[in-house]
Structure formats: structure tokens, C-alpha cells
Amino acid sequence: MSEQLELVVPTHLMPGARLRHYKGGLYRVEGACLIEATLETGILYRPEQGNGTHVLWMRPAAQFDELVNTDQGLVCRFTLV
């Protein structure tokens, strides 16, 4: 019997959402996917600036809300714009 696969996409990571990375870059969420190796939800996103706007990136959904240790202390990896 096959298991039921489900994408769990947080509302702030829905397609069209604009995010600012803690290093300053702007990104737009393009969609969600299922990561084959782990069966966790992945978020597909694309930079809005620079020469890589044609490149689609993927990161596990949980990583978008992680805190990152910087010289200024802990900050959110991405914030909603």
C-alpha cells in the first residue's frame, strides 16, 4: 500500500511571496515541491536581482524560518517583504 504524500506549505511561503535574505538579496517564491530523498516540503524560489534571475533554487521549507548567527547576533534567514 502506498502512503499519502502531502506538501505542507506555510502561508508566508506561498507562490508570489517576496522574501529578503539576511544578506540583503530579494527573492520570489515560485512554488513548492516534494524532496525525493526526505519526503519533506521544498520551496522553489528565484532571485529578483543580479544575473541569476533565470535560475530556480530549492531549499527545505523549514530552513526559511531558521535563525542564522551573524556578527550582529541571531537573525532570521529570510523575512517577508
Domain that holds residue 69: 11-80
Residue 44 within a domain: yes
d(CA 19, CA 71): 21
Residue 47 within a domain: yes
Residue 24 within a domain: yes
Q: How many domains, in total, are found in the chain?
A: 1
Quick: pLDDT tens for 12-66.
Answer: 999 999 999 999 999 999 999 999 999 999 999 999 999 999 999 999 999 999 9
Residue 2 within a domain: no
Residue 58 within a domain: yes
DSSP string, the chain: -PPPP-----GGGSTT-EEEETTS-EEEEEEEEE-TTT--EEEEEEESSSTTTT--EEEEGGGGG-EEEETTEEEESEEE-
Return the CATH number at 43: 2.30.30.320
Residue 23 within a domain: yes
d(CA 62, CA 51): 27
Residue 5 within a domain: no
Residue 31 within a domain: yes
* pLDDT higher than threshold 80 for residue 1: no
